[in-house]
Structure 1
């Protein structure tokens, strides 16, 4: 059974265009695969632990081959419980607006919690990082106010948005990644038409996924 983890990075709820495009993709996917299981994380309401000094110490223990004991084990179990929810999915649907050329801070917080050695990645001292996730897919629905692939950069923004998400997923072992863009949303001569085109792209992608 196909399990989808749907991550909403915007705090705007039903007003979010990145969410709306992702919803269209998911609705079309459900039509093709009615038995899919969808797990939704709305990062605007999700309670995430601080990645504090105790968790950093537990992470360093993993990297240096030490065994977790006492407080280190307790905090690492907390991280593992959140990461396991991510690892359990077969595919990822991420609805992500651009904030300040990058991603919303709540999504960065989530990534910093789950992107851990022995969970999403490993490190070989000779060859470098390698991903631990296998046979996963990801779909990114991306929006931005002024930035767009055809807009002059850096005058209208720089894409540290999709590039960051791709680099993160690649390091975790996810290389099958599709993007659906509605960019720009504000500096757009036909925002309604561009949004409708993005929704149509989402439906088409779901039709072949």
Structure 2
């Protein structure tokens, strides 16, 4: 069974968050069409996401184990265990859906904390004196980034504004996830667009994105 990992990123409840509301609609549409997928949900604003500390690592970024782990305090062991858990969960997935608002041309800081946890040496990447390379090209993986924003940004210069989508595309392509799609829910706070129209436009795109995100080898029709 293939796995979809859904990662909403907002402290607001779903009915108040545009990104989470659209994310939920995508998940419902995806599972309706591809019920053979297992869905895991990680609401990182309401889950324990450790902030990385040098005590958790040895050498060039290897997370501690063995006697180094046993020497940690109970609080630090809890953090290390959680980092390993988050990393293993991420690696085990096939399809990823991240739903977040644009904050200061980026995304909420909890998402960066989560990314730092899952991109670990000898798991998601390999760090050697000669090179740093991604390890998640071992199978087909796909990622969808759903982002809501109050304004609209013309494509001709959106790359100067939308650093969140660009960063996620680049970092996850580096670790081995080549297929990256984005669903931008723009103009939510603009009188010329508004939340209702932005949502309607996003919902029209969902059906096409559902098929793009499905890993074809799984589906037998």
- TM, length-normalised to structure 1: 0.85
Q: How does 1:99-178 map to 2 (within 5 A)?
A: 99-126=103-130, 128-134=131-137, 135-150=140-155, 158-178=161-181
Instruction: Please tell me whether the aligned partners of residues 126 and 134 of structure 2 are also in contact (alpha carbons under 8 angstroms).
Output: yes
Aligned residue number for residue 190 of structure 2: 187
Structure 1 residue 182 displacement after superposition? 0.9
Structure 1 segments unaligned to the other structure (5+ residues): none
Report whether the alignment pairs 1:39 with 2:44.
no
Higher mean alpha-carbon deviation, 105-114 vs 46-55, is at 46-55
Q: What are the superposed Cα offsets for residues 169-202 of structure 1, whole Å, 9 maximum, x if unpaired? A: 1122101011111123213512222221111101
Q: Would you say how many aligned residue pairs link Structure 1 and Structure 2?
A: 202
- TM, length-normalised to structure 2: 0.81
Take 1:59 and 1:21, find their aligned partners in 2: how far apart are those partners? 42
Structure 1 residue 49 displacement after superposition? 2.3
Take 2:191 and 2:171, find their aligned partners in 1: how far apart are those partners? 29
Aligned residue number for residue 2 of structure 1: 2
Structure 2 segments unaligned to the other structure (5+ residues): 71-76, 215-221
Take 1:107 and 1:141, find their aligned partners in 2: how far apart are those partners? 13
Q: 1:71 aligns with which of 63, 68, 72?
A: 68
Take 2:17 and 2:166, find their aligned partners in 1: how far apart are those partners? 21
Aligned residue number for residue 95 of structure 1: 99
Structure 1 residue 39 displacement after superposition? 0.4
